[in-house]
Structure 1
Amino acid sequence: MARPPGDVTPPTPAQQERFFTVCQQVLADRKGGGGPTGGIGTLGERTLHAVLKCYLEPDETLHEVKIGRRVADIARENEIVEIQTRSFGRLREKLDRFLRERPVTVVYPIARIKWIYWLNEEDGSLTEKRRSPKTGAPWDAFYELYQLRPMLGSAGLRFQLLFLDMEEYRLLNGWSADRKRGCTRFERIPLSLRGELLLDSPGSWLSMVPPGLPEPYTSRDFAKVAVLSRPTAQKALSVLLQTGAVERVGKEKNSYLYRTRT
């Protein structure tokens, strides 16, 4: 049975508690540096990656397992798990190799609620946190999923979207007068688990169609409802076409018309 649009499964209290415990353990292991950030960011963006790896698989003997010439984040007897925080295009060669061995789950974290800090590299000062006005949604994954579009129908490949509250540290090193535009994202620290969405079957991709669309609809309609740029909405519809969640049903002037499959 197909899932309703945006069907994010909330975590159980036990899952929330375990995720919080893992966050605290990983941060305790990584802190120790001086300055206001207490060592945050010394390993790039790996804190988020490390938390997800420990949460998804407590058995550390299954972490960083070599398969052929590649290293898998998690390798169980019947599954490989790859945690990718961005740049899905880099996964293509890995996935091609891993899918010959066993099913692969690609885990992608999305910030549901995000608190932003700005770090001044010159004096080490840190601003008060500010909540981002944006709330994360499933359609935020489309930009990355588009990079794997030719592989989306591959047998054994599935995606797990994890929705998190997190803190994001940014460097004041951008090109604008306030040094914020074009800045470097320094580190992301997960705080709590808010839910997950598993894309593991043709019907599950219907969850990636935002509610409230007219029938039929254009990429402009999709962009407005999902709060995406027009180019990203066009990529989203290419992904949904590839997975069979939508179909083209005609044209209106220079725009294709789409309908969600039922």
Structure 2
Amino acid sequence: MSIGVLREGPLHAALKDWLAEPGDRAEVRVDRFHIDLVRADGELVEVQTGSFGPLGPKLDLLLESHRMRIVHPIAAQRRIVRVDEHGEVLAARRSPKRAGTVELFHALVGLPTLLDHPNLVVEVILTSEDHVRTATTARRRRRQSDSGERRLVEVLERVELRRPDDLLSALPPLPDDAFTTRELAAALRCPVALAQRAAYRLRALELVEAAGKRGHAPLHRLRRASSDR
């Protein structure tokens, strides 16, 4: 079994199997990196369940000479499942949290202009997942911690992002007038902290621009070329 397989979690493994097509090769070494799937047409496919930051060295080396696809799952629906030490289900409840494509801004940490590369496709997969946790939580530095593990239940939707403008099309409509990050949060239906990340990354992609201030709050607005969509 390869190093890549040994390190992958159940969600990663399930998505890799779900994505596999006839002619694909799994866990292939390309240059000095292991690649999740290599398509028959040569496209390199990486399933990334967390931040894209760790992919930086791999992308730096491979993107100039290979077509690549990063597949990122977002739990649009989630169930919290508690299990005992034998894996038997003790309790299950539906999480009220609903997530959408806006969650991608968490993953783009450190690589805000990633969507601007012509050899790269980012595919967001909206999923139904079980988040499986143990019956008891471990204590770390006086705080309870249980990262659990994500398990795929169903793929609900696939969204391909081939260029920066595709990101705007995949989000709820942004305000037509200049907006604060708090107003952006309301438009995207997300926490203000995530809206702040979104504003930073949208500026880096030149999809929005600075628009002065309202009081002490910085303002942003859609760039003219992007707003005519």
Deviation, 1:199, is 0.9
Q: State which of 50, 58, 70 in structure 1 corresponds to 2:33.
A: 70
2:99 is paired with a residue of what secondary structure? coil
Q: How far apart in 2 are the matches of 1:159 and 1:140?
A: 13
Q: Tell me the percent identity.
A: 31
Structure 2 residue 79 is matched with structure 1 residue 115: yes
TM-score by structure 2 length?
A: 0.83
Matched residues, number: 216
Q: Is the 8 A contact 1:152 1:242 kept in 2?
A: no
Q: How far apart in 2 are the matches of 1:133 and 1:252?
A: 34
Deviation, 1:240, is 1.2
Structure 2 residue 195 is matched with structure 1 residue 237: no
In structure 2, list runs of 5 or more residues that go unmatched: 1-5
| Cα distance, 1:49–1:91 mapped onto 2, change above 3 Å | same
Structure 2 residue 163 is matched with structure 1 residue 198: no
Structure 2 residue 52 is matched with structure 1 residue 88: yes
Structure 2 residue 39 is matched with structure 1 residue 99: no
Structure-2 residue corresponding to 1:246: 208
TM-score by structure 1 length?
A: 0.73
Structure 2 residue 123 is matched with structure 1 residue 160: yes
Q: How far apart in 2 are the matches of 1:257 and 1:49?
A: 39
Deviation, 1:81, is 0.9
| Cα distance, 1:214–1:127 mapped onto 2, change above 3 Å | farther
Deviations 1:155-214 (A, max 9, x none): 3122100011111102331549xx9x7432322221112111111023212124433646
Alpha-carbon RMSD across the aligned residues, in angstroms, is 2.6
Structure-1 residue corresponding to 2:3: none
Deviation, 1:150, is 4.3
Q: How far apart in 2 are the matches of 1:204 and 1:210?
A: 12
Structure-2 residue corresponding to 1:26: none
| Cα distance, 1:103–1:45 mapped onto 2, change above 3 Å | closer
In structure 1, list runs of 5 or more residues that go unmatched: 1-42
1:142 is paired with a residue of what secondary structure? helix
Deviation, 1:109, is 0.4
Deviation, 1:124, is 6.0
